[in-house]
Amino acid sequence: MNYALLVHAAPYSHQAALSALRFADAIVTGGHRLAAVFFYHDGVHNASALMSPPQDEIHLAEGWKRLHEDHGTQLLVCIAAGLRRGLLNTDEANRHGLASHNVEAPFELTGIGQLVDAMLNNDRLITFAP
């Protein structure tokens, strides 16, 4: 079965982000395909390259990156929600005249159309929200 996830929760502020990552691990461990994770609303903060949790906590961004590296899962970040919350890649930082960025590959800034595509082209879309 092919899955996509929709994550609305910021890391470390609500259980939903960690639950989404654990569910994602269960999907691929169970032999299913996790095609994409779409980060929306406060969930875009999962893509921040500036996260630095204590060593005894799960590093959520690293967990998402591992899913991409091991299983080819797309990590899609809503560009509108990201820009509102100060999450930019190099191109957007340059476009807006900002000196730095905090979204790096394999996370991709993209539009809401990618969420629609994930809904249409996978068997299930599971949402994790506060």
Is 121 tagged catalytic?
no
Parallel, antiparallel, or unpaired for β 33-39 and 2-7?
Answer: parallel
Q: Which of 44, 49, 27, 36 is nearest to 79 (CA)?
A: 44
Active-site annotation holder among 78, 87, 103, 115: 78
φ and ψ at residue 33, rounded to 5 degrees: -110, 130
Q: Which residues are catalytic?
A: 78
